[in-house]
Structure 1
Amino acid sequence: MQSRHPGPTRPALRSQRQHSRQGRSPSPVPPDRARPHRSALDGVTWVRTDPTGTEATEGNIAAPGFTGTSPAFLVATARLLRLAPGVPATRVRLLALTDPVLAPRTVDQAWALAARQEHPTDSGPLLVDEYRVTALDTGEVHTVHIAGDVVLSAPGVELEHLETPPSAFEDS
């Protein structure tokens, strides 16, 4: 008796193996499955269901990524934009998923790398990037300080103690 339930891809793999053993090739992939969904190439695509899970709607926006309340989204956006000090602000459109219902909302921001400073620490110099982020719908401006993969300060975030140095990214 097999106690493990096969995953959803196992029957398809088993079917292809059976065809191969019998000397036949598996049936061709239907044309609508042969290539990625076009909207997936044009931005961010999501599916949202109603509270019962019976009705689903697909949404899509021309955006390079998501944003949210986690500081990781700030690091990801900064890495995505790869800004240089002194360059004019770059506009970016992101998909925000609002708390607590995860409703999708388009957010337009302008990011500028205002300064890059080295700070002496016990473990060597710490390179800190200071970003000016402007919400284009309200004009609100806030400052974000990032060192490697760590947000040192941002709205709602203030790092009090750092036990180990942040990971540094190699620019490519």
Structure 2
Amino acid sequence: MGKDHGSPVIAIQATAGGDNIIYVTVESGGSEFRAFAEQSRVIQEALLANQAMLQTLVQRDQSAVALTTDATTAIASAVERHLDTTIDGCRDTLMRGKPRAALAVFETLFTSLEPTASDRIRFRIKANMGHCLLGLGEEDGAADMLDEAVAFAPGDPKAIANKVLALVLRSENTQ
């Protein structure tokens, strides 16, 4: 009979770590198994390092998304403020007795709106266009434009007032 080298004893222990990492410990008296255990340890350390790097990248990406969202919101707010200022300036032109000039600017402003423009802005422009038409004596056109405006903000108190004005204009024209 040949020399009995003995059966190597292997003890394998698997434990679950955080984030679904499985730690494996291999214990044995044989050199082959110690080499395997060392390779397993190196691989395990590399996996942990990769996991840490991935977590850092995910956190950085989440921060970038948050910053992008904040920047987009800030830009949208700035655009909205600019449009409000422009609408106020055109309305002042109307109030100074220049409805035709104001109407031309409102029409250009409305047609140049981005699809992302708020309904509030769309309401304000259309309502002011209605008031410009009223200032030009075009009561039917004014009533129609006011109705278009109301569709953008049906529950807004100013929209309701404009709806009433449109109804009054129509009732006056039918009498």
Q: TM-score range by the shorter chain?
A: under 0.3
The structure with the largest alpha-carbon Rg is: 2
What TM-score do the two structures reach when normalised by structure 1? 0.22
Structure number with higher strand proportion: 1
